[in-house]
Amino acid sequence: MIDPDTPSFSTKRRWSIGFQVLLSIGAIIALVVMGNYLSARHFIRFERPGGSKQQLSPVTIRLLQSLTNKVQVVVFFNHRNPLFGPVTSLLNQYALRSSQIEVEQVDYERFPGRARQALADLKLDPSADTDRIVFAAGGRTKIVHESELSIYDNPTQAILSGKEVKRTGFKGEQLFSAAIFAVSDPRPMTAYFLQGHGEHDPAEDKTTTGYAKFARILQDSNLKLGLLSLAQSEVPADCELLIVAGASTRISSTELEKLDKYLNQGGRALFLANYGALDSKTGLDRTGLPRMLLNWGLDVGQNVVLDKSNARAGTGGELLVGDFGPHPIVAPLRRSRVELVSPRSVTAHTTGAAGADAPKVTELLLSSGKVSAVRVGERPQVDKSGQAISLAAAVEKGTIQGISSDRGNTRMVVVGDSFFLLNGVIDFEANRDFARNTVNWLLSREALLEGIGPRGIEEYRLSMSERDMFTAQWMLLGVAPGAVMFFGWIVWLRRRS
């Protein structure tokens, strides 16, 4: 018979069991540490079926696979910003797809010292504390600002009516891929603004009538900017993009010949017309550009297009254009609109030329069918169209045989309005996106146009009263832990008995 006072285990036995338990715990901890160490360096990523909204586009994946140099990404974001989660989640996908992407998150409010040091390393203004993402590689930097990341549902009308401005889309992948391409592309490219004929000033940033914001888009696209006068010189050999932004006075025949020669040699150009170039008496365009563009299959109307169906409420001639032609520039804008200010018509014109080297014209921005064109002059005339009128067009043409060209095919975009890219207007609707897409197409950067669209935002809301909030807090902080403790106490009592 066993003596009840005899211990079940000897002291030696108890120490042996304790040592084995400690050894087992240490082995488990060691396995967890080693597993995390190996998984952080050797992992496989599987896409979740049905999660297409969170998957990177094929274009972005090809871009990431082609990277050969490190791209540093610094996220200067306050953690309380609603976009912090989408931004960091998307950039983590970039880093998982390419070992060349290095992402660092810097909260400038919680860690101001680290933020100042990072800005100094990137040679950026330390006084700016707005939320932004900085991409850097090879001494080049590209900044994506928080204000550029969202698509809003008719924000102007919502603000005027006192309603909440709703975020409907997230453009992170579009902008991040473009930024990575810009800083990793080693080719130096230069864009020139034609000057001397009343054009908009790309350096003017203190007024709403300047072009500094558009110039910044060009710089963010890895372009150096220069001013050009054709009175004394030809178009420079390093000109990758020529911009004629709102010329309003006469361009001499010699200058027009130089422009035409540049285009025939595979030049890339953006022409932005406006009604200010029309003579108030004759109604004719003073610049002479429409005559030159006729040879390229374009008819720039000497008129102002009125469209009541698309007119912005409470304004004069401002149009909200949401009908687009079949072209890569406007394909990503299908759910957006471009705001134009009293535009002129830009329609296809038959030149009589045939063959592979004939200009190919594609209309980009289209009015509604209920439209009229006002002919400017001492006796204004109104032409009722009854059909949609093109307000912008793209032209592409192969180089002329026998003339060598290092630039490739000729490309140009002509828009019947230059005011939509002013500092005070460019942030309206999808104007900035249209400008960026136009530049990418003109520079043959189709990879930044195809297959990358904005991600939709699914919004979930939970409305709770003060009483509901109080009840929920006690359920989470009191009832749930208390229930666990109660059942634990019941189990303890049963074992005691």
Which is more confidently placed, 221 or 437? 437
Residue 283: left (phi > 0), alpha (psi -120 to 50), or beta?
left
| Segment among 44-53, 107-116, 230-239 with least mean pLDDT | 44-53
Asked if 241 and 215 count as a contact pair (C-beta separation under 8 A), the reply is no
pLDDT for res 404: 39
Q: Give the whole-angstrom CA distance, residue 341 versus residue 426.
A: 11
Q: Give the whole-angstrom CA distance, residue 162 versus residue 140.
A: 42
High-pLDDT (> 90) share of the chain, %: 32
pLDDT for res 403: 43
| Backbone φ, ψ for residue 38 (5° rounding) | -70, -40
β 303-306/318-321 pair status: unpaired
Which is more confidently placed, 469 or 270? 270
- In 3D space, the residue among 285, 189, 167 whose CA is nearest the CA of residue 241 turns out to be 189
Burial of 351-375, coded b for 16+ CB within 10 Å and e otherwise, reads: eeeeeeeebebbbbbbbbeebbbbe
pLDDT band (50, 70, 90) for residue 460: very low
pLDDT for res 339: 93
The CATH superfamily assigned to 54-151 is Glutaredoxin (3.40.30.10)
- Asked if residue 174 has pLDDT above 60, the reply is yes
- 151 C-beta neighbours (distance < 10 Å), count: 20
Task: Give the residue-averaged pLDDT of 167-178.
Answer: 80
State the Cα torsion 210-214-216-221 to the nearest 10°: -160
Amino acid making up residue 269: A
pLDDT band (50, 70, 90) for residue 202: very high
Q: Name the one residue in this structure whose structure tokens are 């990575």.
A: 180
What CATH number matches the domain at 189-445, 1.10.1740, 3.40.50, 3.30.310, 2.60.40? 3.40.50
Residues 6+ apart with CB under 8 A from 322: 310, 336, 337, 338
Asked if 179 and 202 count as a contact pair (C-beta separation under 8 A), the reply is no
Distances (CA, A) of 191 to 226, 236, 385, 451: 6, 10, 37, 26
Q: What is the pLDDT of residues 381-431, one digit of tens each?
A: 666 667 889 999 999 987 544 343 455 789 999 999 999 999 999 988 889
Structure-token pair, residue 88: 């960091």
pLDDT for res 256: 95
- Asked if residue 203 has pLDDT above 50, the reply is yes
Which stretch, 16-20, 111-115, 192-196, has highest mean pLDDT? 192-196
Q: Where in the sequence of the chain do the CATH 3.40.30.10 domains occur?
A: 54-151
Which is more confidently placed, 113 or 71? 71
pLDDT for res 116: 81
User: Considering the chain, what is the average pLDDT of its residues?
Assistant: 81
Which stretch, 72-76, 109-113, 418-422, has highest mean pLDDT? 418-422
Give the CA angle between residues 99, 104, 110 to the nearest 5°. 165
Q: Where in the sequence of the chain do the CATH 3.40.50 domains occur?
A: 189-445
Q: Give the whole-angstrom CA distance, residue 93 versus residue 79.
A: 19
pLDDT for res 129: 59
- In 3D space, the residue among 74, 68, 197 whose CA is nearest the CA of residue 138 turns out to be 68
- In 3D space, the residue among 307, 321, 416 whose CA is nearest the CA of residue 370 turns out to be 307
The helix/strand/coil state of 418 is coil
Task: Give the residue-averaged pLDDT of 260-287.
Answer: 92
- In 3D space, the residue among 315, 414, 309 whose CA is nearest the CA of residue 367 turns out to be 309
Query: Among the residues of 226-348, which ranges form H helices?
Result: 253-264, 289-294
Asked if 343 and 391 count as a contact pair (C-beta separation under 8 A), the reply is yes
- Asked if residue 277 has pLDDT above 90, the reply is yes
Q: Give the whole-angstrom CA distance, residue 296 versus residue 432.
A: 26
DSSP secondary structure, 2-28, as one string: --TTS-SS-HHHHHHHHHHHHHHHHHH
Q: Give the whole-angstrom CA distance, residue 443 versus residue 226.
A: 16
Q: Give the whole-angstrom CA distance, residue 162 versus residue 150.
A: 20
End-to-end CA distance of the chain: 24
Give the CA angle between residues 31, 35, 37 to the nearest 5°. 120
- Asked if residue 49 has pLDDT above 50, the reply is no
